[in-house]
Amino acid sequence: MQTLNQLSALRNCLSPLRAAGKIALVPTMGALHDGHISLVRQARDRAAHVVVSIFVNPRQFGANEDLDAYPRQLARDAALLQAEGVAVLWAPTVEEMYPAGYATNISVSGVSEGLCGAARPGHFDGVATVVAKLFNQVQPDLALFGEKDWQQLAVIRRMARDLDFAQPHVSAILGVETLREADGLAMSSRNAYLTPQERAAAAALPRAMRAAIARIEGGEPAAPALAELERAILAAGFASLDYAELRDADTLEPLPAASPHPARLIAAARLGKARLIDNMPVAPI
Ligand code: PAF
């Protein structure tokens, strides 16, 4: 595996690889867990060469967010990726990604609004901007993202469609199912912020989501089921619920109840220093 942090070196390294087969890109911010490794393995199944990017992107963190605290463990991450047969680790510095004078922002309206977009103003502009740059830098045949960030995936698909990214074409942006711990908590680099006591309480979120989904799939309106979800997680020790909403799985339109289309229950809640997000499918009725 080659670890590169300069764009010129990345381009030199990728052109012979591209001639020899498909390239899959797995964009990450590092602090890799089994969820990331599952993305890498799916990438390997689908492409001759896997490029993983590790870049803690300052543009997607708000002023009072956890940019400085975000876990950084490049040497450990590199060893994991090497063992997974990754061809290239692309780990640019902030200066390489955003050189002096950098002035361009990509803003995707509609799907970026509401949910995490409301709680984290500017976050999805930062995500869309860095992912567009990564697509241009690596020019992959396909790119893989975790479904845990359901809204992020919708934003990236919209951005790729709107900006005519031929490679990856929108059909080659793959969402990979969320991996969960044994108690149901979605794997996330931010779970590292939880104390042991908070970690035990954290499983209340997926549990309450599953309970709400059972009621919604049983034909109840979403509002009372989501009110009960909020009550249950606050009782378990969460500080607050940022949001819990029933949305159309593709358009992210708000839904008052299950519908004939696939839907998604999407939630974010605060526990200790962590803001946990999760989403789960809601079957059509
Ligand atoms: O999901 C993430 O880790 C990040 O938002 C991404 C897609 C790598 C962009 O920085």
First vs last C-alpha separation in the chain: 48
| Residue whose C-alpha is closest to residue 149's, from 184, 183, 189 | 189
Could you tell me which residues are beta bridge partners of residue 54?
28
- Whether 149 lines ligand 1, by a CB cut-off of 6 Å, is yes
Nearest residue (by CA) to ligand 1, atom 1, is 28
Active site residue 49: no
- Whether 191 lines ligand 1, by a CB cut-off of 6 Å, is no
- Whether 29 lines ligand 1, by a CB cut-off of 6 Å, is yes
pLDDT in tens, the chain (285 residues): 999 999 999 999 999 999 999 999 999 999 999 999 999 999 999 999 999 999 999 999 999 999 999 999 999 999 999 999 999 999 999 999 999 999 999 999 999 999 999 999 999 999 999 999 999 999 999 999 999 999 999 999 999 999 999 877 777 999 999 999 999 999 999 999 999 999 999 999 999 999 999 999 999 999 999 999 999 999 999 999 999 999 999 999 999 999 999 999 999 999 999 999 999 999 999
Residues contacting residue 213 through CB under 8 Å, at least 6 positions apart: 225, 265, 280, 282
Residue 58: is the preceding peptide bond cis (ω within 30°)?
no
CB 86 within 8 A of CB 109: no
189-282 folds as Pantoate--beta-alanine Ligase; Chain: A,domain 2 (3.30.1300)
CATH number of 2-176: 3.40.50.620
For the whole model, what pTM was predicted? 0.96
pLDDT of res. 256: 98
- Give burial (CB, 10 Å; 0-12/13-18/19+) of 13: middle
CA distance 19 to 54: 24
Domain ranges for the chain, please list them.
2-176, 189-282
Question: Which DSSP category does 71 fall into?
Answer: -
Pocket test for ligand 1, best of 36, 89, 145 (most atoms within 8 A of CB): 145
